[in-house]
Amino acid sequence: MNRTPNLLEVAKAAGVSNMTVSRVVNNSGKVSDKTRQKVLKAIKELNYQPNLIARSLARKKTNILGLVVYSEKGVHPAFYNEIINGVQQGASELGYDLLIFANSEKQSYSDRITHSSFVDGVIFMGVKINQNDIKNVHEKGFPYVFVGKREIEGINPYFISPDYIKGTKMATEYLIELGHTRIGLIGQSRMIEPDYDKLLGYQEALYKHNLVYNPQLVFEESQTQLDGYNAMKELLKQKPTAVIINNTYSTIGATTAIKEEGLRIPDDISVIGFDDNQELNEQFNDFIGLELSTIRIPKIDLGRQAAKMTISLLEGNDVSQANFIDLQFIKNSSCKKL
C-alpha cells in the first residue's frame, strides 16, 4: 500500500494554501476560477482523495449511520434484510454510509454508539431489541430511530413502523364491501405486536360495518407453512367465505389446505395474504398460478424512511416521534364478490 497524498501536498503542488484546497474539495467558500483549475489539476495528478477520518475528527461528524439489528442467532430473517437494504439506500441518497454494529446478544451498544463518535445517528431494529439501549440513547438525546413499534417504559421513542392496523382494516373492509361476512384471520397474536395490530385492524373493520367479531374465525400465531396449513384446515370447518393470512409461509400452507379440501380460490373462498417475503411470494404465485391479492409491506421504503428520519433528526430538524408507513393493498384476482 503506497501512501496517499494529503491536503498539504496538493496545496504545495498547486502553489496555494491548505484552505484553498479544502475549499475546492468541499466546494465551499470563494475560490477564483483560475485557482480552482490549478487545484483541480493537482488533485487529479496526485490522485488525491480526502481522508475521511481526519475530516470526521475536525468536523465532529462522520456521515455514517449506525445500524443495530438484534437477532437471535446472528442471522436476520429475510424480512429484516430487505429493510436493511432500504436503510442503506436511504442513507446513501443523503450521502451517508452504514456501519453495522456487530451483534452479540449480550452486549449493550448504547455507550459505544454515543461516545465513540463513529456514527452520527443510529437505527435499531430486530425482534429482540434491548430496551435499555434505546432508553439510554433516547435520554442522552443521541439521534436514533427504532424500526418497529414497541412500548418502552418511561419514554416515547422515535420509531417508524408499518401501519398494520390500517393495512389490515383496509383489506378487511375490501372483503366486507365484496359482501363477505364470514372472514377468517390466520395469525393474530396477543404477544407479537404486528400480529396483534392485524387483529385490531380486522376488528375495527368489522365494527365499522356492524359485523360481529367471531373468535372462532380467528387463529393464533402462525409462522410456518405447517401452521398455516393446520389453521386453515380448522378454519374451513367454520365455512368462511374469505380469509386473511399473516405471512407468506402461512399463506403457502393455507392455500395448500384449501386445495386439498377441493376448494377453489376465489370461487369458493377469497384469500388475502401479507407478502412479507416478496421474493417467495412471487415465486409461489407464479408457480401455483395463483394471483393472490396481498397486503404489501413496503420494506425498502420503510428502511429508506428510517434512514431519512434519523438523518433529519441528527441534522437538528423537528421530527415526530411516532411514524407510520402505509401498507399497500395489491388487488389481484384471489377475491370474489359474493
Partner DNA sequence: AACAAAAATGTTAACGTTAACATTTTGAAG
Partner DNA sequence: CTTCAAAATGTTAACGTTAACATTTTTGTT
Give the interface with its own copies as residue ranges (CB under 8 A).
1-2, 4, 47-54, 56-57, 62, 64, 74-78, 81-82, 85, 88-89, 91-92, 96-104, 111-112, 114-118, 140-143, 224-226, 229, 249, 252-253, 256, 279-280, 283-284, 286-287, 300
Q: Where are the alpha helices (DSSP H) in 131-181?
A: 131-140, 164-177
Q: Whose CA is closest to 214, among 225, 204, 222, 206?
A: 206
Q: What cell does 184 get?
A: 377468517
270 strand-pairing partners:
242
Q: Which of 2, 30, 210, 316 binds DNA (CB under 7 A)?
A: 30
Taking residue 225's Cβ as centre, other Cβ atoms within 10 Å add up to 18
Cα separation, 49 vs 312, in Å, equals 27
* Shortest CB 243 distance to DNA, Å: 58
User: In angstroms, rounded to a whole number, what is the distance separating the alpha carbons of residues 83 and 78?
Assistant: 9
Q: Which does 249 bind (CB under 5 to 8 A by kind): its own copies, DNA, none?
A: its own copies
Q: Is 31 in the site for DNA (CB under 7 A)?
A: yes
Which of 28, 47 has the CB closer to its own copies? 47
Contacting residue, 35, 71, 214, 312, with DNA by CB under 7 A: 35
Output phi, psi for 325, to 5 deg.
-120, 130
- CB 335, min distance to its own copies, A: 24
Q: Report the distance separating Cα 128 and Cα 126, nearest Å.
A: 6
Q: Which three cell numbers stand for residue 320?
A: 415526530
Size of the site for DNA (CB under 7 A): 31
**Rounded-to-integer distance, Cα 171 and Cα 327, Å:** 10
Burial 282-298 (b: 16+ CB within 10 A, else e): eebbeeeebebbbbbbb
Among 1, 60, 102, 153, binds DNA (CB under 7 A): 60
| Burial of 6 (C-beta count, 10 Å sphere; 0-12/13-18/19+) | middle
26 is a contact residue toward DNA (CB under 7 A)? yes
Q: Does 25 bind DNA (CB under 7 A)?
A: yes
CB nearer its own copies, residue 90 or residue 201 = 90
Q: How far is the CB of 167 from its own copies (least distance, A)?
A: 21
Q: Is 41 in the site for DNA (CB under 7 A)?
A: no
User: Please, what is the minimum distance in Å from the beta carbon of residue 82 to its own copies?
Assistant: 6
Which residues of the shown chain bind DNA in the complex (CB under 7 A)? 3, 6-8, 15-20, 22-23, 25-26, 28-32, 34-36, 48, 50-51, 54-55, 57-60
